[in-house]
Amino acid sequence: MEIEETIIEVEMEDEAIPAPIPKELPKIQRLEECVVNRIAAGEVIQRPVSAVKELIENSLDADSTSISVVVKDGGLKLIQVSDDGHGIRYEDLPILCERHTTSKLSKFEDLQSIRSMGFRGEALASMTYVGHVTVTTITMGQLHGYRATYRDGLMVGEPKAYAAVKGTQIMIENLFYNMAARRKTLQNSADDYPKIVDLISRFAIHHTHVSFSCRKHGAGRADVHTIATSSRLDAIRSVYGVSVARNLMNIKVSDTGPLNSVFKMDGFISNSNYIAKKIIMVLFINDRLVDCGALKRAIEIVYTATLPKASKPFIYMSIILPPEHVDVNIHPTKREVSLLNQEFVIEKIQSVVGSKLRSSNESRTFQEQTLDFSSSSPMATSKDSIKEPSPSGIKSQKVPHKMVRTDTLDPSGRLHAYMQMKPPGNPERGSCLSSVRSFIRQRRNPSETADLTSIQELVNEIDNDCHPGLLDIVRNCTYTGMADEIFALLQHNTHLYLVNVINLSKELMYQQVLRRFAHFNAIQLSEPASLPELVMLALKEEGTGPEGNESKELRGKIAEMNTELLKQKAGMLEEYFSIHIDSNGNMSRLPVILDQYTPDLDRIPEFILCLGNDVDWEDEKICFQTIAAALGNFYAMHPPLLPMPSGDGMKFYRTRVLSSGSEVTSTENIENDTMEAEFEEELLLEAENAWAQREWSIQHVLFPSLRLFFKPPTSMATNGTFVQVASLEKLYRIFERC
């Protein structure tokens, strides 16, 4: 029956009112798949910190022991998470970022016993719908890794062979580039970086077997840097500081009754001496970082009722329940879980926390800072001892002058160290640190490396020539920063030293080559390098004679001879040093001497020429020694070839900007040099990245490795590698006379 679109007049109080025109009912339609995926991505990846959490959980599922995070502009421009886990199979890369692709479960019933962090297969897919994702990965046994890029859940092109270290690196660039409202909201809000630091700090104190690192892109130091340890309290101390760790009480709760929920809880809560304005609650349920508002409120009630000032507590709890008692599939970001008999679990924990807190409040302690000037104190020596106080006690002791603040962010450099002279008496920490160092040495320097007598002799020479004073400086120094391109500043006790980074790194690499002899991992070059071309390039850079045909022919003959020599020695180079040279004279692999460090590949020509000319191939011991020296010089942390982009180094870039021959005196001239200026901006950015990467490697790779492995030779005490530039005792005496 058709409805006529006419106005029907109805008489009501002598007035005609037009009847409403019926509207067409809205039609239900199917949304396009790209719209559905983007909506789902907005729920899973709500902020940059959500993406970091998902990537860290994937790294933990991959059995990683080291996770590094780099963030730029709060995560909107760049999030990079690198781990040393088992990697991703090449066959899985095409479907890696498709929705609902996962290795964690295969059927719905698997959720009843899920133990991994992820299970939906939505995290990586969601990231590709709101950002540009690049994955670089290598699995055990592969000679090289692969790099793939993803957009909207699909892989772009084919995976490309790529030089990679063990594990996986995932980069997310331009997050929320296609969600203008979300991106604008995040840009106008506070930086997400503090949230990311807080997230990684929480993971670090729970997963103590994993080392974590987090820093801003281009920053010289990490804001979070932890090492693997067996002590939970040490992890809390390194992340949240000594003031938190010394006011914590261990608490344990368990219930094994068949009628109630079977669970076990282990954690730390702050005592009555702890005072803070904000509650910090770190909660893990079955190793999953979650929030539980009911448990948080219950504990806050206990603290409010027990402590007179209602101070906000610090709480760390790890609850273990049978997997079938936990429903993990109730929140898009997996931030919340549902527990069987949740009320009983919370009530049980609340009761034990209240009891523990009341007993702590009854015996509240106040720490007294005392000065101890005994000869055993690290602040006093037989040479510079402090005078005894007068019998009347009127004249007090002089202020201690042998304690030096080093890093305000490091607990060992805070003010309480000036006053607390007595060691805390915690031998477990020292033994734990020693065991960690011993484990790392054993893992990186296996005992089988010294199979050959010549290698044993070279290693023994290193050990016998070790300078004990310099060894103490290297083991117990604090890195302060770079003084210039070559020298770094170190602080050891009350002394400040300038150390030659190039000499140190060269000698360390030499020692590591001998200690890891025949047990190297490999760096796969993206493209094989031709030995004749490398030698020709090195000879051209070093040559000082005329550039005539005779000189070119001579260089060609030298290149041909060196190539043939290295091809003959290819088997030995690959077996002992992981340097692969094929039958065509192409080099495709180099050794990994220090984990997480790649040498400056621009110095390969010089290295190849050194192998051909400087190695004595006749004597076994001298041969290995000269190859190790060549590798040490190649892998040493030389300054980048581009000048430092500051001070006088900026002249290099400004000169090239004015290469048109005219001075920049008007807007017209600047516009004429536009193309050249753009090129120089890229070159300047490349230089800044190279210098920043070098300084980061010096602080976070070189000096930690020096503390663990380095044996300083005696010659370094006199050749200018270590130069003392300041002594606190002498400065103290000078100022005392003023």
Order of strands across the sheet that contains 722-727: 478-482, 487-492, 495-500, 722-727
- Position 432 scores a pLDDT of 57
- Position 552 scores a pLDDT of 79
Say how far apart CA 572 and CA 270 lie, in whole Å.
60
SS3 for 637-704 is CCCCCCCCCCHHHHHHHHHHHCCCCCCCCCHHHHHHCHHHHHHHHHHHHHHHHHHHHHHHHHHHHHHH
The runs of H, that is alpha helices, within 363-452 are: 416-419, 427-444
Structural contact between residues 276 and 309, judged by C-beta atoms closer than 8 angstroms: no
Give the 3-state secondary structure of residue 314. strand
Say how far apart CA 213 and CA 222 lie, in whole Å.
6
Which residue matches tokens 């009854």? 362
288 CB neighbour count, 10 Å cutoff: 20
Say how far apart CA 415 and CA 417 lie, in whole Å.
5
Q: What's the mean per-residue pLDDT of the chain?
A: 77
pLDDT at 649 over 60: yes
- Give the DSSP per-residue string, 89-157: -GGGGGGTTSTT--SS-SSGGGGGG--SS--SS-HHHHHHHHSEEEEEEE-TT-SSEEEEEEETTEEEE
- Position 449 scores a pLDDT of 45
For 331-347, how does the pLDDT look when each residue is reduced to its tens digit (9 = 90+)?
A: 666 677 777 778 888 88
- Position 119 scores a pLDDT of 57
User: Mean pLDDT: which of 351-365, 578-592, 685-699 is highest?
Assistant: 578-592
699-722 mean pLDDT: 91
pLDDT at 722 over 70: yes
The runs of H, that is alpha helices, within 578-659 are: 604-614, 620-635, 650-657
For 25-48, how does the pLDDT look when each residue is reduced to its tens digit (9 = 90+)?
A: 887 777 777 777 667 666 678 889
- Beta bridge partners, 717, equal none
Higher pLDDT, 439 or 373: 439
For 426-453, how does the pLDDT look when each residue is reduced to its tens digit (9 = 90+)?
A: 544 455 555 555 555 555 555 444 468 9
pLDDT at 90 over 60: yes
466 DSSP assignment: B
Give the 3-state secondary structure of residue 86. coil
- Position 329 scores a pLDDT of 63
pTM for this one?
0.49
- Position 293 scores a pLDDT of 83
pLDDT at 631 over 50: yes
Order of strands across the sheet that contains 263-270: 248-255, 263-270, 314-320, 280-285, 288-289
For 504-561, how does the pLDDT look when each residue is reduced to its tens digit (9 = 90+)?
A: 999 999 999 998 888 888 888 888 999 999 988 888 876 544 555 557 788 888 888 9
Q: Six-digit token pair at 494?
A: 């009350």
Which of the residue ranges 157-171, 271-285, 638-652 would you say has the lowest mean pLDDT?
Answer: 638-652
Q: Six-digit token pair at 557?
A: 């003959």
Which of the residue ranges 133-147, 294-308, 468-482, 715-729 would you say has the lowest mean pLDDT?
Answer: 294-308
